[in-house]
Structure 1
Amino acid sequence: MNLKGKNILVTGADGFIGSHLVEYLISKEANVTAFCLYNSFNSAGWLDLIPKETKEKIKFNFGDIRDAEIVSQSVQSIDIIFHLAALISVPYSFTSPRSFIKTNVLGLLNVLEAAKRESVKKIICVSTSEIYGNAQHLPITEDHPKIPQSPYAASKIGADALAYSYAKSFDLPIIIARPFNTYGPRQSLRAIIPTVISQYINGEQVLKLGDTKPKRDFVYVEDTVKGLINCCSDGLPYGHDFNICSNEAISINDLAYKIGDLFGKRIDIAFDTDRLRPLKSEIQHLVGDHKKLYDYTRWKPIISMDEGLKRTIEWMKSDWDNRPYRNNTHHV
């Protein structure tokens, strides 16, 4: 899709995936408005670390996705919306579920209402593989039952249902993109890959991890961004969802040892009960099927896990002691 000159709004632009998406859109000469969470530090999150010449091309709107007025202002004259703003921490959702409903469901409602008034041409709503719960068949296709095993997953199922309803009720041009486990530079330390890498960098004698048996489908952030862009392609049916995944899975145990091999050593794993989810909340096996998106757009991930991990390790090791947010386990 030709993005040059398109007016594009990215909500959650200050986060992990959002910041990479903004950089990509700027490289394609799009006119990007970055909707970032307002804070007293005037920080644009990870966008503060991108090259100055790129940042100068971005229009910044600071606010809260739960505020209908600021969202409405941000959507004016916009052609395409990528909606990534969300609370995403599964553990935090156990203690603050109301916040997840307000941000993930009511926040999306504000975006959809504004998009409806402004006749936005395309709306990409970013979902999560967590909505599938424990797999009833593998690989997981888009028609898999939605089984919420955490308040976070429940909030995203609610958001997806809202998006479906607006596509059907108001003929809004909505696509639901569903990334599986994205990883790469800028990811929060609470995610499993940066958790393991940071412990190697810090020279820990044992790796403190939770349950290492679950298997996950990992996609490098550059591939995820291109998957999101492909969801803007002409010909995709509105009101449909599309998995962004690798069609492969690796256990947390094997992942930890793979990272160790890239460091040239292996550290024994120590079981840390503080890192466990509630028993019935843990999802044991997530491996997706990206055939639907491939059939429509020919998208598939091209960066191998070894290559993606090497890039992530290199980024995390560079100037580690001065890395902003390196101790911030809640930054998305």
Structure 2
Amino acid sequence: MRILVTGGAGFIGSEYVRRRWDSDPEARITVLDKLTYSGVEANLASVARQPGYTFVHGDICDPDVVDQVMAGQDAVVHFAAESHVDRSIDGADRFVRTNVMGTQVLLDAARRHRVGRFVHVSTDEVYGSIAEGSWTEERPLAPNSPYSASKAGSDLLALAHHRTHGLDVVVTRCTNNYGPYQFPEKVIPLFITRLLDGGTVPLYGDGRNMRDWLHVSDHCRAIDLVLHDGRAGEIYHIGGGTELTNHKLTALLLDAVGADWDRVAHVADRKGHDLRYSLDDSKIREELGYAPQVPFTEGLAATVAWYRAHRAWWEPLTERAALR
């Protein structure tokens, strides 16, 4: 199978590419990545010499580049997105451009080139906030941040291309990811790297905001299931099964690095901060046999150990993104 992976130099995209070659050494994968501040081509170093691997430095908003890389592909797995909520609050324009307009460029090219399947990777944040219970795939979208609104727009465009043009589109929506190679602006790697450096970490508000945590390897395994066996025009939720308040997560991270609560700075809550996300992922479990395999305690310990051992990877990134 010939697969175009957009955003393949990012956290989740690079995990997906590495995983594909572990399971299929004969894979033929083209990675298209703009290499913005959070894109790291070195994330793909382990597959760079594979004969079926091609890396293209380009923007999904560029119709000429997209048309060239789309030709001859059997499938698209679309990760490329601006994804940091705080940055979207500071300025939404590039989120709309990349997440909405870029997705439209990809969809148009996939239709022209008669691509067999388009997997659009999205987020639980498109639903807004839920006080209790869990969202099913039929829940109406109600995003609260510029980031989640732009992702909701791209979801709807993707599904519209299935309904209007017959493009074989499948949408996935996942909970919060964690694991190695995650850019250190997201909460788990941000806290780990700051604590390892002897600094303090910022805890929003009272820390009651709750998230479900999904190891990146489980997420990518689920995406592969959807790529091969998901039903066209459907949405699949991918959950991790570990709900934690940010306060509890902070306590676990402090314990993992041997730090105390005096290293925590309570800061003003994020604007429009959603209290809780929760996905009902029974559909992908029942239809495709998905179940997360990485227990959170083991996954978090391995993630902390990875950042301890890979300072040479994350230190330049924290400086580049002004996170220190």
TM-score by length of 2: 0.91
Q: Is the 8 A contact 1:246 1:289 kept in 2?
A: no
Pick one of 14, 18, 40 that aligns with 1:19: 14
Pick one of 77, 95, 103 that aligns with 1:82: 77
Q: Which residue of 1 aligns with 2:247?
A: 253
State the Cα deviation string for residues 62-118 of structure 1 (Å, max 9, x = none).
111111111111111101100011111111112322221111111011111111111
Pick one of 244, 264, 274 that aligns with 2:238: 244
Pick one of 221, 228, 233 that aligns with 1:233: 228
- The CA RMSD measured in Å over matched residues stands at 2.0
Q: Is the 8 A contact 2:30 2:55 kept in 1?
A: yes
Q: Is the 8 A contact 1:246 1:288 kept in 2?
A: no
Q: Is the 8 A contact 2:9 2:44 kept in 1?
A: no
| More divergent stretch after superposition (263-272 vs 304-313) | 263-272
Q: Is the 8 A contact 1:190 1:330 kept in 2?
A: no
Distance in 2 of aligned mates of 1:288 and 1:248: 11
Equivalences for 1:16-95 in 2 at 5 Å?
A: 16-27=11-22, 28-29=24-25, 30-37=27-34, 45-52=39-46, 54-57=47-50, 58-95=53-90
Query: Relative to structure 1, is the Cα distance of residues 14 and 330 closer, same or farther in structure 2, using a 3 angstrom cutoff?
Result: farther
Q: Which residue of 2 aligns with 1:10?
A: 5
Code of the aligned partner of 2:270: R
Q: Give, in angstroms, the shift of residue 311 of structure 1.
A: 1.3
Q: Which residue of 2 aligns with 1:152?
A: 147
Q: Give, in angstroms, the shift of residue 144 of structure 1.
A: 2.0
Q: Give, in angstroms, the shift of residue 237 of structure 1.
A: 2.1
Aligned length: 316
State the Cα deviation string for residues 178-214 of structure 1 (Å, max 9, x = none).
111011111122211112212221123x533223110
Q: Is the 8 A contact 1:142 1:242 kept in 2?
A: yes
User: What SS is found at the alignment partner of 2:228?
Assistant: coil
| More divergent stretch after superposition (136-145 vs 13-22) | 136-145
Extract unaligned runs of 5+ from structure 2: none
Distance in 1 of aligned mates of 2:132 and 2:211: 15
User: What SS is found at the alignment partner of 2:236?
Assistant: strand
Q: Give, in angstroms, the shift of residue 233 of structure 1.
A: 2.6
Q: Is the 8 A contact 2:60 2:102 kept in 1?
A: yes
Q: Which residue of 1 aligns with 2:187?
A: 192
Q: Give, in angstroms, the shift of residue 148 of structure 1.
A: 1.4
Query: Relative to structure 1, is the Cα distance of residues 177 and 321 closer, same or farther in structure 2, using a 3 angstrom cutoff?
Result: same
Q: Give, in angstroms, the shift of residue 50 of structure 1.
A: 4.2
Q: Which residue of 2 aligns with 1:162?
A: 157
Q: Which residue of 1 aligns with 2:318?
A: 326
Q: Is the 8 A contact 2:6 2:79 kept in 1?
A: yes
User: What SS is found at the alignment partner of 1:147?
Assistant: coil
Distance in 1 of aligned mates of 2:218 and 2:114: 29
Q: Which residue of 2 aligns with 1:134?
A: 129
User: What SS is found at the alignment partner of 1:123?
Assistant: strand
User: What SS is found at the alignment partner of 1:87?
Assistant: coil
Q: Which residue of 2 aligns with 1:263?
A: 257
Query: Relative to structure 1, is the Cα distance of residues 330 and 293 closer, same or farther in structure 2, using a 3 angstrom cutoff?
Result: farther
Distance in 2 of aligned mates of 1:179 and 1:108: 18
TM-score by length of 1: 0.89
Percent sequence identity over matched residues? Answer: 29
